[in-house]
Amino acid sequence: MRHAVIVLLAVSCFSVFARTQTADELIAKNIQAKGGIDKIKAIKSVRITEKFDGGGGFTAKASQINSRPNLVRENFALQGMTAVQAYDGSTGWQIQPFGGHKDPELMGENDLRDILLDADFDGPLVDYKEKGNTVEYLGHDIVDGDDALRLKVTLKNGDILYYYLDPDTFLEIRKEIRQTIRGSVRERIVDLGSYKPVNGVMYPFSIAQGSKANPGSQTFTVEKMEVNVAVDPTDFAVPATLKAPKPVAEKK
């Protein structure tokens, strides 16, 4: 009986604690778990080299370069061709040779919304109010059989992200992305794991993504991560050939 009462009290206290936590408290714990705001802000650029596995023996090399405040370039190399997606702080552009587009072109809305997520250097939780985001704590949930703390993040552009935090480490273990584009809802799941410290900041070295029906169907494994590397601004800049006006045909 005494043991049962102790267990009941422990469960009750845990439930009360879980309910009384606020979004801001969880965000503060998440930031501290990653290394603290000072160490996070001390990182000015990141270069990641990854191996992509799409299943069925389909693999490729991928890389990503981020630079403050919101610059990003992503390369995807396969069979001697390299796809590029980049954002220079105001404009998104891409080269998609696998789809027959070997010349630079401006991004459509779908791709632009995706790369804006990657361009946010610190992620949407850090300085979320200044970015125009809102965050709600939705309580406990289950991720692959384990307990998780669920945050709902609504971005300034209307995109919704659900972050799931490990209740012990307060690091992200999953995020769900929900976007409404021209009336259609698009959802995907990203699982995060194998965290390692780089320059005092925790980063996930395993990223698996897919749809709700087929989560984890694509995986990225970080092979190398470098921080505060020198970056070339031209890597992000819209190519001159894309900015140049098209020649006007001569009148006959």
- For residue 252, pLDDT over 90 is answered with no
Element (H, E) at 182: none
Taken in order 98, 104, 106, 107, the sign of the CA dihedral is positive
CATH homologous superfamily of 2-242 equals: Lipoprotein localisation LolA/LolB/LppX (2.50.20.10)
Write down the pLDDT at residue 40.
99
Domain spans of the chain? 2-242
Task: Please state, rounded to an integer, the average pLDDT across all residues of the chain.
Answer: 90
Which pTM was predicted?
Answer: 0.86
* Length of the chain, in residues: 252
